[in-house]
Amino acid sequence: MTGRQSEEVTAPSETPAEVGARRARTYLHLIEDGRADEAEELLAGLSDPRELVFLGAGLTVLARRTGRTLPTAMRAQASTRQVLLGQLRDRNRRDVDGLRSWLREAAQEVRTVQRLAEAAARLREEGSAG
């Protein structure tokens, strides 16, 4: 071999699912930080229904993962809300503005489930301390 050979390894492109999951985390962080305008800008910048659906899939994964940590009754309620969110998504399958509405609802669900999980953990800690 002559000359220099690059040892730089390029990362493979992100899959649409990975991009969606990254966007979902970013969107949630913006909402949690009270930066609703920036969160709306993120959604407004996505005009392809497929991009919106992948972002929503990322939110769904977060909500379901956290929901599995909830006590049985809360978990059942969270599961029902996920079904309703899926129906909202399906009704808006080709409507970009409708999908954005679904994403707002899905993000609120993630935040709700996270708060419930935190409350359940506190109750478990209090119960085991007593």
Mean pLDDT of 100-124: 95
In this model, does residue 5 exceed pLDDT 60? no
58-77 pLDDT, tens digit each: 999 999 999 999 999 999 99
Percent of the chain exceeding pLDDT 90 equals 81
Query: Which of the residue ranges 5-19, 31-45, 88-102, 113-127 would you say has the lowest mean pLDDT?
Result: 5-19
26-49 pLDDT, tens digit each: 999 999 999 999 999 999 999 999
Domain boundaries of the chain, sorted by first residue: 16-129
Q: What is the pTM of this model?
A: 0.84
DSSP the chain: --S------PPPPPPHHHHHHHHHHHHHHHHHTT-HHHHHHHHHT---HHHHHHHHHHHHHHHHHHHTTS-HHHHHHHHHHHHHHHHHHHHTTT-HHHHHHHHHHHHHHHHHHHHHHHHHHHHHHHHHH-
pLDDT for the residue 10: 47
pLDDT for the residue 11: 56
